[in-house]
Structure 1
């Protein structure tokens, strides 16, 4: 699942004191003059309120949810579904610019040198362990795979790993580089990918594949020793050593702590003028730069895809960067209304950019790539979304591609079962890449 924890681990004493002082100060305010009081009493709401005697549906935020849902314009201001636009070339520049503004993606201009740490063969694949250093944080680690003995320029896939509330791991979630895997990775691949390392499987089809650790995961995760003032979790300091870092208990404790820390990270990024999706997108673009620049990659035939958090990353990267010629979003598609009323708690802060819902609905972020080929795979019993809103998202994307005159470039597929990217779904996704990228 794509979760962050529901509660902030914050000290409450000072907040209570502030509220208490504020309440006393408010009580001491003078009454409004009669004329001003009358003005307030005569104010007319700008929208029709929900009748007081109407039974309200339940929502994540109680009785606030239904009213907020009525404030959401459908279609939003910059939706291609609006009658204001008939041609994508007239609509896309303004929509793309506004989404870029709301995401507030940081600009990274630095030249990023790439180091090959190790090269070897495994399971019929040529594998490279790579690293590169950004102007902040610890070095990014990545895995590059392609068929052994392949020649010439290959079509390529930027394979995007999931979130799953497991920030200790990143690229390892969807790769396999030896017969020995961590037991938590084995279990994760079994539950989410029907026992497969899907990045390996598509590489075997004739693709060059790059898998990197996303912002705040694995090599890019927040390290305890780099912080202060926030409790680590149930383990004692002496248990957190390099020699037992891969201990299951230690990893699970880190993932628990990282779930709480994600709230703090999101608030800090907002304070800096950026967003969580903006940071993730910036680092995914760097990986795309690196993949595109390789001599064994055809830069005109690059796709991206992933499950869950990888599907979310596909929405932003595929929607915002036209170098992605084919995209497959798996297990991350619904509407802003679904998040508002039903499912915000099941999803990471990597989803949300302030104000973005005023301009386009969530599926329309991915729709910004029209007419480039796009597939969305959803599961009918996925607990992270409601089925009606998944279906609504599918109809929105279908409408965007239809209005643009490119119905054949969009495929929305639904499968039975829960949150997953199983062998059948992988086969359909790989066939889609084959059809549009060739081999």
Structure 2
């Protein structure tokens, strides 16, 4: 599945529901037509055939039960308490314990920035590696930003996808930044504007990836971890890791958690670490990222009110879009069983209302359909309008495929400046 997704993205130019009471199925007849000869089936094509329109009607017969758009919800605080509690329950967020000790492995200056390479040990897995960037001569406490790297079908890399350190850059990361970010290491660029920026490896990426030596030999597809920086070895690992996603997702479900739940727990720990730094003003924290980083933004900004300003890039649509059209372009990292009954996908991000939120979309983004992206936008607009905070929500649309190019970066940076500096 992941290999097909990666091929799709590359060719395109980028790297449970419950039955609603009273829902009726089409009546049977003595001469029931076959799907191939019946125009009603052809008119309702989906990526899961005739089951797609049926399932979508089941899911969207009414507003999700915890949607703030329901007229029954009039008290913002009461709604948030209920909706946040249920969302956390559905995510199955693991408890990680106290904030771990941070080890600094290297500190140097590059291109006007002070850069630290750090790590910390969570209760499971290998240490999490991260990069911290801030202006070289900065004084006092600065606003902080969690910068989330993308997925890109590339689990071998993590924080290197959106940073530069002055050390030799891997050629695959140079091409990656050219393709998705118009050649920019955007974490560096926003740090230069007066922020302490932290970029940590996400669960199953880079330092947090599943090492081949840590799984049974019969699950390694004949691969090993020797010569890991070789591009051919990296491609082979990424193909293996893509095929391994369904294994990880099933195991997470068996353990009572979800992939977004683990993302959130680990990103929240990174936020704890960032907020505890003596050079960070913990009252001025933001986050953002492209694609998989946009997904992490939805979860992090939606569920942790310490994120005072959020920028979600290239990851905003509806559950209907995934259900009918686009789940094959996404990984197992997106889905939370049962939650669509209670909140549509954009409403997870809407849990942060009225805190400032920017959503950046690409009009020809191959991972979504434009009509559903605009439906998601309308949902968020309605949520912010309901509490009189329309000025704190904005969605912008840019021409082109899945990306976070320089014009989009400039809008994101200006949004953070507006809400975290003033």
TM-score, normalised to structure 2, is 0.91
129-138 or 56-65: bigger deviation: 56-65
Aligned pairs for 1:219-368 (under 5 A) are 219-233=207-221, 235=223, 237=224, 240-241=225-226, 244-368=227-351
**Residue 378 (1) aligns with residue 365 (2):** no
Of 198, 210, 221, the residue aligned with 1:210 is: 198
Q: Distance in 1 between matches of 2:290 and 2:269?
A: 20
Q: RMSD of aligned C-alpha atoms? A: 1.5
Unaligned runs of 5+ in 1: 8-44
Query: Do 2:99 and 2:269's aligned partners in 1 also have CA atoms closer than 8 Å?
Result: no
Q: Distance in 1 between matches of 2:217 and 2:346?
A: 39
Q: Summarize the Cα distance change of 1:170–1:90 in structure 2 as closer, same or farther, 3 Å threshold.
A: same
Alignment correspondent of 1:417:
400
Deviations, residues 40-68 of structure 1 (Å, cap 9, x unaligned): xxxxx941224676344211111111100
What secondary structure is seen at the aligned counterpart in 2 of 1:368? helix
Q: Distance in 2 between matches of 1:340 and 1:185?
A: 32
Q: Distance in 1 between matches of 2:352 and 2:99?
A: 27
Aligned pairs for 1:25-424 (under 5 A) are 46-50=22-26, 54-55=40-41, 56-73=43-60, 74-178=62-166, 180-233=168-221, 235=223, 237=224, 240-241=225-226, 244-424=227-407
Query: Do 1:233 and 1:253's aligned partners in 2 also have CA atoms closer than 8 Å?
Result: no
What secondary structure is seen at the aligned counterpart in 2 of 1:292? helix
Query: Do 2:309 and 2:355's aligned partners in 1 also have CA atoms closer than 8 Å?
Result: yes
47-56 or 286-295: bigger deviation: 47-56
Q: Distance in 1 between matches of 2:178 and 2:298?
A: 25
Query: Do 1:233 and 1:256's aligned partners in 2 also have CA atoms closer than 8 Å?
Result: no
Q: CA deviation at 1:77?
A: 0.3
Q: CA deviation at 1:111?
A: 3.7
Q: Distance in 1 between matches of 2:253 and 2:232?
A: 32
Q: Distance in 2 between matches of 1:179 and 1:141?
A: 16
Deviations, residues 311-353 of structure 1 (Å, cap 9, x unaligned): 0000000000001000000000000000000001111211111
Q: Distance in 1 between matches of 2:55 and 2:79?
A: 27
Q: Distance in 2 between matches of 1:135 and 1:5?
A: 31
Alignment correspondent of 2:416:
433
Q: CA deviation at 1:90?
A: 2.4
Alignment correspondent of 1:4:
2
Query: Do 2:360 and 2:397's aligned partners in 1 also have CA atoms closer than 8 Å?
Result: yes
Q: Distance in 2 between matches of 1:275 and 1:338?
A: 20
Q: CA deviation at 1:110?
A: 3.2
Query: Do 2:141 and 2:278's aligned partners in 1 also have CA atoms closer than 8 Å?
Result: yes
What secondary structure is seen at the aligned counterpart in 1 of 2:80? helix
Q: CA deviation at 1:404?
A: 1.3
What secondary structure is seen at the aligned counterpart in 1 of 2:403? coil
Unaligned runs of 5+ in 2: 6-20, 33-37
Q: Distance in 1 between matches of 2:74 and 2:128?
A: 42
What secondary structure is seen at the aligned counterpart in 1 of 2:380? helix
Count the aligned residue pairs.
395
Deviations, residues 12-46 of structure 1 (Å, cap 9, x unaligned): xxxxxxxxxxxxxxxxxxxxxxxxxxxxxxxxx94
Q: CA deviation at 1:6?
A: 5.7
Q: Distance in 1 between matches of 2:350 and 2:219?
A: 41
Q: Distance in 1 between matches of 2:402 and 2:295?
A: 14
